[in-house]
Amino acid sequence: MLCWLGLTRMDLLTMSTHYRLQPPFLYIPEQQDFSKAWEHFCCKLLNLSNNTTEIYVRNPPEQGVDIFYPSKKIAYQCKSVESGKSGDFNVTQAINSIEAAKKIKKTLGWKKYVLCTNVAISGTAEASLKSALPTIELMPNSRWVQLCESHPLEVETNFRHLLEIPRDRIMNSISNVFTAQYSKTLRTKLEAGPFDIFLYIKSVDAIYRVPVSDTFTCQELIHIFTKLFDLPKSGTISADGTNVSISHSILFNGKIVPLNTPLADAGVDRGSVITFWTNVKWIERERKFDGKFIHMITDDFSYNRSSSKNDAVVALVKKHIKKCFHEFDAGIYPDAFQEKPKPTMDIP
């Protein structure tokens, strides 16, 4: 959700909403585990599409039936793939759930069995599933997208909105951060073979769709993002006797990408989701601190949370970075924002 943006309801609805049925696009605020989030999302849409409220998520042990529709005696099994890739669908786990559901068919009383997935099911996988249960019905991603399109207002809060970054913004950032000749080379690369990736920032709960070139190195992309969002540069900021050094990294598939690695070599391709990793170091007299936090689904701080100074420094840096993104967003959607003051870095 983009409540912090101050956007009107019309602004939200006219932004780019894509029904991508995997994290970080799809989420249930109360559910941290995506498999559970998928169950509750399916239950919500099933109730909406059937104009009822009796369909419910079963408590563990589910025994192969995650959701049940009592009056229609329909059992639903939910299988989610966090990557959103059909090739990652585990047909063996689905068949194991089918076998478990068969054992409670009489006690639960289900007559129809439906498999709910957030990806497409291959012909081979479908054949295996029907071998285990010939009458099984499949509800793949295409069916859920149709249901989302039928109930856009009801599912609005379950999808993070995409903020599209125009290519000319990237071009301008390139021109402003690199030398003339180097900028020309990077701009040529972007014009020759652009594709979009997604940058998710937890601190502002937003996803940016960014045009890049697969020949950009990780270091080049960090420089572009630093200029684009006006983020604190890698370096040292001194205030009140405290030296704070900030550096940034790119994280993809749970790993930091080496600075000189081109995106293509790192496996980043069209539609990939990357995250931003910020490293904070501060020195005050003989005290030293080295903390890291990630702008993704979880935060990881390598310091003792009991230290009020550590907390204060990291909180200040995070607040500063958050303001940078807010101001950038205001530049894209100026009518939806009130002007905000330039962020400062005053270390307490």
Domain boundaries, the chain: 19-158, 162-336
Give the pLDDT confidence score for residue 348 in this predicted structure: 39
Give the pLDDT confidence score for residue 292 in this predicted structure: 53
**Where would I find the beta strands (DSSP E) of 10-62?**
56-57
Q: How far is CA 176 from CA 148, 165, 208, 223, in A?
A: 41, 17, 21, 10
Q: Reduced to 3 states, what is the DSSP secondary structure of residue 114?
A: strand
Quote the CA–CA distance of 275 and 52 in Å, as a whole number: 39
pLDDT at 19 over 60: yes
Query: The tokens 């970080």 sit on which residue?
Result: 24
Q: Out of 147-156, 222-231, 319-328, which region has the weakest mean confidence (pLDDT)?
A: 319-328
Higher pLDDT, 83 or 9: 83
pLDDT at 301 over 90: no
Give the pLDDT confidence score for residue 53 in this predicted structure: 96
Rounded mean pLDDT, 307-320? 71
Rounded mean pLDDT, 22-41? 90
Quote the CA–CA distance of 114 and 112 in Å, as a whole number: 7
What architecture is domain 19-158?
Answer: 3-Layer(aba) Sandwich (3.40)
Quote the CA–CA distance of 250 and 257 in Å, as a whole number: 6
pLDDT in tens, 109-155: 999 999 999 999 999 999 999 999 999 999 999 999 999 999 999 99
Percentage of the chain with pLDDT > 70? Answer: 78
Q: Rounded to 5 degrees, what are φ and ψ at 201?
A: -120, 110
CB 116 within 8 A of CB 139: yes
Which CATH number among 3.40.50.2300, 3.10.20.90, 3.50.50.60, 3.30.930.10 corresponds to the domain 162-336? 3.10.20.90
pLDDT averaged over every residue in the chain: 81
pLDDT in tens, 182-227: 999 999 999 998 889 999 877 677 789 999 999 999 999 999 999 9
Q: Out of 21-25, 42-46, 245-249, which region has the weakest mean confidence (pLDDT)?
A: 245-249
The DSSP call for residue 342 is P
